[in-house]
Amino acid sequence: MSELSELIRAIASLLWPAFAFIVLYLFKSQIADAIGRIRKGKLLGQEIELGDSLEELRQKALDLSNEVNSLPTNEEVKSELNNNSESIPHDPIKEIIHEAARSPKAALILLATEIERESKQVLASVGLLKGRTNISFIQAIAELDKQYGGLAGHVSSGITYFWDIRNKLIHGGKTDDANILSAIDSGITILKSLQAMPRETNVVYHPGVKLYSDQECKNEITSAKGVTLESSSPGGANTFYRIFPTTKTHFRKGIRVAWEWSNENRWGNTWYRDPDNNEIKPAWNSALEFVGRNLDEI
């Protein structure tokens, strides 16, 4: 009898792992859902604590999933492009959210690049970049914070956290997806705030208008051309045109340009013929050289 008991115990010990595997396989979705809801309790008699990170990750993943599901498919995009003469505007936030569903780390790096670019473009648009090319994100944010009398509290509080996580990833550190997704959430808030900052928009309307030193437009000024800008007020309610002298040749119709000037050249009373109607118009009484760079290249 004792031999039979030993045999039964031996068989049971061999079958238990197989039974446990079958249970885990059959009920894996229910178990995963239960773990997702557990924050503190007992499991198989052991005290466990999962903290807030799993719930945060679950919620942010759900939010990202909802955002991605709302994006148009490639076929919808192609159809829209075929039905309209103008291409669909670039939407960096949708692109970042879409990337986050695939790779949070890649999305965070992409978002950091977009924030740096946007912060420099805001500075350039209001005339504060002043020809600089290697200004850091933190410095740009500090200057904008000073210029606009303080960024919103939730933006300022998110900047340090966002940049800390970004630096850890860029410089080889490790962090979990919950932290990365939280940083993306903070970063998108920062990016949206930068995009909403009031500033004039200046678009090249005509890159090279002939200039004259006399009101009859007989004596052409050969040292410069006039660049005509289509300018919009910060709120976009008003659009107006203005012309400035320049020796630069990078201007192209339709590009957005920075509000940048050089004091190396100056021109006095100047006139020009409006290319749209050939009407003679005064350009300026005195003007420095406009040298605004292409915003998309800053």
Query: For residue range 109-126, what is the model confidence (pLDDT) as tens digits?
Result: 899 889 889 889 989 998
Residue 48 confidence (pLDDT) above 50: no
Give the model's pLDDT for residue 155: 59
Residues 192, 174 within the same domain: yes
Residues 206, 284 within the same domain: yes
| Mean pLDDT across 204-213 | 97
Residues 174, 291 within the same domain: no
43 in a domain, yes or no? no
Residue-wise pLDDT tens digits, 132-165: 888 887 788 788 777 766 565 555 556 766 777 7
Per DSSP, the residues of 54-115 read HHHHHHHHHHHHHHHHTSPPHHHHHHHHHH-SSPPPP-HHHHHHHHHHH-HHHHHHHHHHHH
Residue-wise pLDDT tens digits, 251-263: 999 999 999 999 9
Residues 184, 238 within the same domain: no
Using the structure block, give the residue that is written with the tokens 């045999």. Answer: 7
Number of other residues whose CB lies within 10 A of the CB of residue 155: 19
Asked if 124 contacts 147 with a C-beta cutoff of 8 angstroms, the reply is no
Residues 254, 268 within the same domain: yes
Residues 187, 268 within the same domain: no
3 in a domain, yes or no? no
Residue bearing the bigger pLDDT, 26 or 193: 193
Give the model's pLDDT for residue 89: 56
Residues 172, 210 within the same domain: no
| Mean pLDDT across 191-206 | 89
> Which is it for the CA torsion 163, 294, 286, 277, positive or negative?
negative
Give the model's pLDDT for residue 178: 79
Residues 67, 172 within the same domain: yes
124 in a domain, yes or no? yes
Residue 267 confidence (pLDDT) above 80: yes
Give the model's pLDDT for residue 44: 41
Residues 65, 155 within the same domain: yes
Last residue of a domain, one of 144, 170, 196: 196
Residues 177, 161 within the same domain: yes
pLDDT-based confidence at residue 47 (cuts at 50, 70, 90): very low
Q: H or E segment at 201?
A: strand 201-212
Residues 245, 189 within the same domain: no
Per-chain mean pLDDT for the chain? 75
Give the model's pLDDT for residue 141: 78
Residues 114, 224 within the same domain: no
Residue-wise pLDDT tens digits, 98-108: 888 888 888 98
Tell me the pTM. 0.65
Domain that holds residue 113: 61-73+90-196
Number of domains in the chain: 2
Last residue of a domain, one of 174, 196, 218: 196
Residue 45 confidence (pLDDT) above 70: no
